[in-house]
């Protein structure tokens, strides 16, 4: 009995918690505490769909996981209908433990989504110690509100409406005038989209905004004290105060280094290296002071063709000062976060640049997801392949000859990644994919599990039965892998749940599509 109790305590001590997008603020996308879903188990044919959680709208936010809340391990889900749910992680298919309705969502015909509803779009963040959820939702005013919810029962603890101004002349490129207040431009919710994940760091909560690419627009970063929601500054950071563009839309949210500095990427727009930082990677201090930046030397061409420098968002390589980005033009940049270099080629800062594939680019191409796990960078690229670049810790450089996946996906997908491993296994690369172009319309998704060394497919959700089908792809949400289960967001009003079934229920004599017969 004592040994059993010690075993249970050990499991609790090492149970994974996923309180933010891409697992932690490095935004690398890897869970390195997964002991159940080993490559051997995944390849055995025992992974099946266990059930679904039913929700009331499309889910574009990554589900989050917190163990032992009110006697339950819980999965937190936010939807475009301004609902937040808590589900029992160990009871697939069960009703919600609680649901919080945050009011009517915005109704808009603007692009980027399959739905005309825009509510809770981004991935929330959870303060586990304080048992609080931070989530931003848009209503039909339109107004963006940052809510703080109780993790235990979903009650609203406090909230703040997004509002702010920045010194500048603003956007004069479109038919609509800039919204100003004297010498300041004013954040305008009607033109903003909050797709970047909420970030908790430094005792603060950070919220980054992109846009619908409708003038006048900018990128914005707001910061609030996480307890009082008092703003860190009366003038939030604006990426293009004297121009237009620079939207912050990559879904993983800003990466945060050990000193609490924030890193995010911006979309097309004005760039001058002084106040305007479209098509750039920007570094801010914990108080949102501008510190450094990087921009490719072909920024003008990127702007002209709407080819963002970082379509998937920046990520930090653990144990180094390296910062990686991959963009719509198939280029990969590995920067030194301590010396980002400004305009490419203008300084002596460390920089490695390489290309995933040679091809013409347009707004729907490039890499829209990433995973860094155990010294390998995995990039799903819109030619339908997954690329694996190995990192050499001795040289601090990546091997630019990639391993390519044996499976092809839709072009453009976009595929989303997550990784799971532990100290005793090489792990599994999980990919949420489609077989048809999902850029502008809903398409059926397939969850795939790949060997992280060879990229040979170990399993996929279409192998055995239509009952295992994922649903339609949530094109910005990465799979959540936690404690032996995989939770996949969909635009089918559901979260699909996969896990290991008992050995007695293996499918004797069933020939898997393209795989060996299980016996």
Q: pLDDT 10s digit of each residue in the chain, 519 long?
A: 333 333 333 334 457 999 999 999 999 999 999 999 999 999 999 999 999 999 999 999 999 999 999 999 999 999 999 999 999 999 999 999 999 999 988 877 555 566 678 899 999 999 999 999 999 999 999 999 999 999 999 999 999 999 999 999 999 888 888 988 888 999 999 999 999 999 999 999 999 999 988 899 999 999 999 999 999 998 999 999 999 999 998 899 999 999 999 999 999 999 999 999 999 999 999 999 999 999 999 999 888 888 888 778 999 999 999 999 998 888 899 999 999 999 999 998 999 999 887 666 555 567 778 999 999 999 988 777 899 999 998 899 999 999 988 777 765 556 889 999 998 888 999 999 887 777 777 889 999 999 999 999 999 999 988 999 999 988 889 999 999 999 999 999 999 999 999 875 554 433 333 333 222
CB 107 within 8 A of CB 91: no
Is residue 516 in a domain? Answer: no
Is residue 15 in a domain? Answer: yes
Task: Provide the 8-state DSSP code for 16.
Answer: -
Let me know if 205 is exposed, middle or buried by CB neighbors in 10 A (0-12, 13-18, 19+): buried
Please name every residue paired with 262 in a beta bridge, in sequence order, or none if there are none.
Answer: 256, 284
| CA gap 420, 198 in Å, rounded | 23
Radius of gyration over every alpha carbon of the chain, rounded to an integer in angstroms? 22
What's the structural domain count of the chain?
1
Let me know if 54 is exposed, middle or buried by CB neighbors in 10 A (0-12, 13-18, 19+): middle
Supply 370's token pair.
């990433």
Is residue 158 in a domain? Answer: yes
Supply 385's token pair.
């392949």
Task: Provide the 8-state DSSP code for 304.
Answer: H
Residue pLDDT, tens place only, 298-352: 999 888 888 888 778 999 999 999 999 998 888 899 999 999 999 999 998 999 9
**First-to-last CA distance in the chain?**
35
Is residue 402 in a domain? Answer: yes
CATH code where residue 146 lies: 2.140.10.10
Is residue 494 in a domain? Answer: yes
Is residue 510 in a domain? Answer: no
Is residue 148 in a domain? Answer: yes
Domain that holds residue 449: 2-505
Is residue 513 in a domain? Answer: no
Which DSSP helix (H) or strand (E) runs through 351?
A: strand 351-355
């Amino acid at each position: 009995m004592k040994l059993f109790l010690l075993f249970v305590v050990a499991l609790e001590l090492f149970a994974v918690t996923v309180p933010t997008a891409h697992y932690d603020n490095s935004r690398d996308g890897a869970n390195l505490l997964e002991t159940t879903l080993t490559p051997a188990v995944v390849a055995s044919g025992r992974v099946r769909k266990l059930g679904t959680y039913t929700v009331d709208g499309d889910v574009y936010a990554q589900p989050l996981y917190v163990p032992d809340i009110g006697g339950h391990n819980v999965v937190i889900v936010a939807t475009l209908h301004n609902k937040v749910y808590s589900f029992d992680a160990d009871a697939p298919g069960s009703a919600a433990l609680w649901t919080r309705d945050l009011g009517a969502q915005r109704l808009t015909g603007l692009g980027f989504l399959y739905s005309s509803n825009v509510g809770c779009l981004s991935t929330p963040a959870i303060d586990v110690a304080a048992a609080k959820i931070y989530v931003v939702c848009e209503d039909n005013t339109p107004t963006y509100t940052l809510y703080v919810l109780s993790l235990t029962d979903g009650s609203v603890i406090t909230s703040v409406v997004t509002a702010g101004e920045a010194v500048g002349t603003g956007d004069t490129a479109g038919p609509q005038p800039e919204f100003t207040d004297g010498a300041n431009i004013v954040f305008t919710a009607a033109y903003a989209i909050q797709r970047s994940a909420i970030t908790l760091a430094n005792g603060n909560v950070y919220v980054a905004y992109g846009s619908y690419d409708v003038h006048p627009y900018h990128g914005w970063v707001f910061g609030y004290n996480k307890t009082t929601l008092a703003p860190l500054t009366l003038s939030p950071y604006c990426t293009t105060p004297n121009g237009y563009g620079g939207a912050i839309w990559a879904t993983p949210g800003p990466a945060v280094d050990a000193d609490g500095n924030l890193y995010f990427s911006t979309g097309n727009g004005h760039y001058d290296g002084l106040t305007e930082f479209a098509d750039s990677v920007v570094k801010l201090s914990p108080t949102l002071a501008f510190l450094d930046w990087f921009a490719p030397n072909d920024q003008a061409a990127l702007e002209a063709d709407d080819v963002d420098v970082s379509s998937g968002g920046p990520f930090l390589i653990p144990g180094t000062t390296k910062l990686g980005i991959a963009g719509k033009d198939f280029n990969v940049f590995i920067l030194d976060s301590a010396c980002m270099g400004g305009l490419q080629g203008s300084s002596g800062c460390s920089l490695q640049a390489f290309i995933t594939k040679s091809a013409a680019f347009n707004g729907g191409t490039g890499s829209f997801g990433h995973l860094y796990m155990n010294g390998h960078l995995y990039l799903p690229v819109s030619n339908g392949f997954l690329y694996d670049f190995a990192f050499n810790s001795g040289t601090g450089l990546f091997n630019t000859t990639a391993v390519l996946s044996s499976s092809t996906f839709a072009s453009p997908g976009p595929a989303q990644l997550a990784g799971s491993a532990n100290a005793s296994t090489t792990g599994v690369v999980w990919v949420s994919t489609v077989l048809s172009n999902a850029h502008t319309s809903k398409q059926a998704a397939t969850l795939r599990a790949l060997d992280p060394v060879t990229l040979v497919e170990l399993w996929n959700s279409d192998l055995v039965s239509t009952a295992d089908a994922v649903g339609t792809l949530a094109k910005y949400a990465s799979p959540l892998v936690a404690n032996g289960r995989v939770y996949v967001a969909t635009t089918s009003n559901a979260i699909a749940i996969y896990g290991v079934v008992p050995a007695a229920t293996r499918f004797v004599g069933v020939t898997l599509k393209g795989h060996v017969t299980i016996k």
